[in-house]
Structure 1
Amino acid sequence: MKASVKEYLVYYIYVSFKFLFTFLPKAFVKQILILCAKLAFRFNKEHKHIAKVNLDLAFEDKKSDDEKNKIIYESYKSLLFNMFEFVENQSISKEKLFAKAVIENEEVILNALEEKRKIIFITAHYGGWELAIPYTALKYGTLAVVNRKMDNPLINDMYVKARDRNNIVMLEKKVAAKGMLKAFKQGHNVAVAIDQHMKNGMEIEFFGKKVYATDSTARLAVKFDAVIIPIFAVMNDFRDYTIKVYDAIDPLKVEFKIEDKIKELTQLQANVIEEQIKETPALWFWQHKRWKKFYKNLYKRN
């Protein structure tokens, strides 16, 4: 598809920022990103409102407005640090990428690989997700990752090439289920972020509120006896992360409490994400309408 003049302009602006961020001292880049976070917190009223609605739904009165505002600001900072990871990890060496993180509970992944189990890595838009995916793919083998195409075809092409360089196969979100099936048959493991708003899906609870969630990971796990391994890149500081690996959700070992195994497995995955968000809430991407399906009116600004 031929790119428009506007798309070329955005592409060249992006490439210019990428060049600057690559060669500027990293301490200086960090301060620029912190300044951008402060500006976004002050002037981005729409997304600040969305984040506040989400925090009210998640924590109700368990956190004060001051605490919630601090979380929103830190969430902007985390997002911008993660965007830097998106830019930098397209071109750095595997060794430099690994140097930015340590991994906890790695034996969960190693055991699954040793047992030759198929693996579904689940994560969220949390901390350095643009580090967690290439880190996992480069260290443990090719990953098929569910992702939505970027609107700008020029930037999307750059993104796909970078993913390929980092041992990642891109799966179009619209046909994710078929893509994951194909990936398993080709001997790849898969990875998907499962924390965003969905118009349709399996109805579950998230922070005690109704949401829709994808059940494709649960169905795939049951069909292939695959293990579901939650991973999160917890940000310690700029370019400094801990890859946190949770215990595997194994459909062969789960003691199911209800007849609907798919629903229970889907809920178990959401529970892990909720647990991690509660541990360090400022690292989640609060600026999207996670509860829109059932609480649409709350997101409207007066």
Structure 2
Amino acid sequence: MFDYFTYLLYKLFYIIMTHIPKSIMKHLVKVFANIGYAVDTKHKKIAYNNLDFAYGNSISYSEKRTIVKESYENLIQNIYDFILNQNLSLEDMDKKVSIKNGSFLTNLIKTNKKIIIVTAHYGSWELAIPYVSLKFRPISVISKAIKNRYLNKVFVKVRHKHNLVMFEKHGAAKKIVKALKDNRMVAMAIDQNIGKKDATIVKFFGKEVTQTDAPIRLASKLGAKVVPMLFTRDGFDKHQAIFFEPLDVKDNCTKDDIVNYSQQISHIFENQIRKNPRDWFWQHRRFKEFHKDIYK
């Protein structure tokens, strides 16, 4: 019953967000973000803990507060993106997305290379993969099913519209290999904490964190190119797709090679987050694996 009630709330938000003019919605996003900041004490505390740990005293409390508030605003904007973009054509999306360094991706597509895109919960992440899948080449994504079966049905339906194939982490390796062989790109968000068993250790804001080594291992085994990609916000409902230089992962990587390639990705993400910290999802326990104490 609760799941269905949540689904009805989602439908209500869908109706509101798709019928209210953008000029008004822009202000409502700020209102919803301020409400989230006020009531979500658990994740707000995590965000402050992360900022204290990452930046120390190099930025003031006032700056940290601004970042956390704007991070909530970015989260609400991602919900808005998901709802608004469900029925948009590629032509409609093109009108609000500019592309930086697109040749890093298109040159690989022209030469028929296998491609693994690595990305993060940064900026317009709800638009990023659907747009690239429609614009360049269909994408397969590892994704957790939403526990609410009604919402999960909506989520899957929308993703299929955008040329996306979703599959669960369990048994994903074979499906990823098949997707790459079938000339689909594979995309992974790799900026969240995972257990050491499935990870390599990299530095992020100068601290040790875990990061999945799956894209590097797969690229080494299958001869794929790894392309880091982030979508940043360029105003309300305006976005910039940023592609970074592909990693030319060598065959038969050693453990040290995997760490080095993984660190390159972490460094790219950190640099971009430092430029626009409000765009990252600070409400996740990113440093948990080695620094649990900061979340007490």
TM-score under structure 1 normalisation? 0.93
8 A Cα contact 1:90 1:159, kept in partner: no
1:48 alignment counterpart: 44
Equivalents in 2 of 1:23, 1:39: separation in Å?
22
Contact 2:134 2:162 (8 Å CA) reproduced: yes
- CA separation of 1:175/1:59 partners in 2, compared to 1, >3 Å: closer, same or farther? farther
Question: Which residue is 1:160 aligned to?
Answer: 156
Show the 5 A alignment for 1:120-159. Answer: 120-159=116-155
Alignment: residue pair count: 293
The unaligned stretches of length 5 or more in structure 1 are: none
How far apart, CA to CA, are the structure 1 residues paired with 2:294 and 2:118? 28
Per-residue CA distance 1:189-237 (angstroms, 9 max, x = gap): 1011100111232122111111111000000111112111111111122
The counterpart of 1:229, out of the listed 223, 227, 230, is 227
Alignment of 1:116-265 (within 5 A): 116-200=112-196, 201-252=199-250, 260-265=256-261
Q: Which runs of 5+ in 2 are unaligned?
A: none
1:243-276 CA distance string (max 9 Å, x none): 11111111149xx9x8621121111111111111
- 8 A Cα contact 1:172 1:179, kept in partner: no
CA distance in 1, matches of 2:14, 2:200: 39
> How far 1:185 moved relative to its partner?
2.3
Amino acid corresponding to residue 212 of structure 1 in structure 2: T
Deviation at 1:174, TM superposition (A): 3.4
Structure 2 distance, partners of 1:40, 1:174, is 33
Query: What residue in structure 2 maps to residue 59 of structure 1?
Result: 55
RMSD: 1.6
After TM superposition, the structure 1 = structure 2 runs for residues 267-286 of structure 1, keeping only pairs within 5 Å, are: 267-286=263-282
- After the TM superposition, which parts of structure 1 deviate over 6 Å for at least 4 consecutive aligned residues? none
| Offset of residue 179 of structure 1 | 2.8
Give the alignment of 1:95-134 within 5 angstroms.
Answer: 95-134=91-130
Q: What is the identity, as a one-letter code, of the residue corresponding to 1:49?
A: K
